[in-house]
Structure 1
Amino acid sequence: MFYWFLKWVAVGPFLRVVFRPHVEGAENVPATGPAILASNHLSYADWLFMPLTLPRRVTFVAKAEYFNSPGIKGWFQRKFFAGSGQVPIDRSGASAAEGALTAAKRILDEGELFGIYPEGTRSHDGRLYRGKTGVARLALETGVPVVPVAVLGTDVVAPPGKTFGTFTRPAVRFGAPLDFSRYEGMENDRYILRSITDEIMYEIMRLSGQEYVDMYATRAKEESKKHASDRAEGGPDARGETEQKKAS
């Protein structure tokens, strides 16, 4: 609790004064009791600004590496992430998704708010990508509401691949809670899980105004890297661009 207090006393006021994050729909987040906050993911700074707009603690899962680093720096890093609402999860193994689900259930069973990024990774180009069905399974197995969230402007403050970007005023929008109790007992039906996930992603898209791409973000990143490599090496992409220029 000391480090949670320290985060809000030291880091919170600084971010509020400097960036003045704008919030809409905070009343949609329950004042008490468990809820899942399902957000888009533009930047590593998302987990700082979204909880900053709420009076309640929001817990996320974080890479175990953040908690295992050696030395003085590692000690401060562990304390900061633990105190700011992060729980460690090993994302390298095949059981990573199951481990995250177990951690999330524990948090929700304690009546807390759990934050999740259904895309599974940050968007590399600002578009919204297909959600993974873990959020739907979590909602059905726990029976708690899902609050869709859109965080905007964090990719300007902290762009992908960079520590700092340029100044802007981030915005956080909370949508109306989504109730999926009508699907109780159907958490093993993959079509139901996909339908629920798509409904959540639609609400996030509506709140954020992002272009939606029906592809997983990890695959989109891989294809983007491949195309960039092809262009650099004079591959098919580069030849196609050259032919287009000649034709024009």
Structure 2
Amino acid sequence: MKNHTIQQLIYELVSKLFVFPIYKFVFKGHLIGRENIPQTDSFIMVSNHGSLLDPPLLGHALGRNISFMAKAELFKIPFLGFIITACGAYPVKRGIADKNTIKTACKKLSDNNSIGIFIDGTRQKNGRVNKPKQGAALLAFKNQKLLLPVAIVNSHRLIRFKFCIPLFSKIVIKVGKPVQPPQSSSRDDLHSVTMLLKDKINNLIG
């Protein structure tokens, strides 16, 4: 309990001092669908992925301490590594297939901590969900947790340059209605829920 409290304090400090000004003033961040965010039980947030800044921006916007699976290399990047560590991110080698990652995710969910998964497993140049993995659906079944589809719009083109002048895109985060976990761990059930999440996220993106 003590470690959880300390982690929560660190998260709130980093979120307010570092992430908030970037989200609100640099990228003019805006959240749509706050009423769809579960407020009591933990959940699995599933999102598209276009930028290294997605984890802290999403966690801050949703107002929940969401632990993200992040590539181990990201923890070595100055500043970004500090932020994602403070926000509860944990390293993953190759997506959800890593057994240690699955154990860590299940432990966090059982401790009532929400987790975040980028359903494609890596950044997409078009900012949409293209080839989703079934890991999120499998975790939802194993832990009987709701899946929360979230779209982060424009994250794949956060910064553009015009005549060497940086132009910052407006970030819009859209939260869809939660999706129930699969009825079983069969390939068909996992595929069905995964495709439903893909469609919901891409529809939110527009």
TM-score tier by shorter-chain length is 0.7 to 0.9
Shift in Å, 1:171:
0.3
1:152 aligns with 2:159: no
The equivalences for 1:102-181 within 5 A come to 102-158=103-159, 166-180=167-181
The equivalences for 1:55-66 within 5 A come to 55-66=63-74
1:88 aligns with 2:85: no
Structure 2 spans left out of the alignment, 5+ residues: 1-6
Whether contact under 8 Å (2:157, 2:169) holds in the other structure is yes
Shift in Å, 1:82:
1.5
Name the counterpart of 2:194.
Answer: 197
Name the counterpart of 1:223.
Answer: none
The C-alpha deviation readout for 1:121-158, integer Å capped at 9, x for no partner, is 11123343021111111111110101101100112215
Q: How many residues are aligned here?
A: 194
Q: Give the strand-richer structure, 1 or 2.
A: 2
Structure 1 spans left out of the alignment, 5+ residues: 210-248
- Between the aligned partners of 1:47 and 1:81, the Cα distance in structure 2 is 7
TM-score by length of 1: 0.70
1:33 aligns with 2:41: yes
The equivalences for 1:204-219 within 5 A come to 204-209=201-206
- Between the aligned partners of 1:116 and 1:158, the Cα distance in structure 2 is 23
- Between the aligned partners of 2:176 and 2:54, the Cα distance in structure 1 is 17
Partner letter of residue 173 of structure 1? K
1:11 aligns with 2:14: no
CA shift in 2, pair 1:65/1:121, >3 Å: closer
Identity, % of aligned pairs?
A: 28
- Between the aligned partners of 2:118 and 2:166, the Cα distance in structure 1 is 22
CA shift in 2, pair 1:77/1:200, >3 Å: closer
The equivalences for 1:45-56 within 5 A come to 45-56=53-64
Whether contact under 8 Å (1:148, 1:174) holds in the other structure is yes
CA shift in 2, pair 1:44/1:78, >3 Å: closer
- Between the aligned partners of 2:175 and 2:205, the Cα distance in structure 1 is 10
CA shift in 2, pair 1:78/1:148, >3 Å: closer
Partner letter of residue 191 of structure 2? R
Shift in Å, 1:54:
2.0
Q: CA RMSD for the aligned pairs?
A: 2.4
Between Structure 1 and Structure 2, whose CA radius of gyration is higher?
A: 1
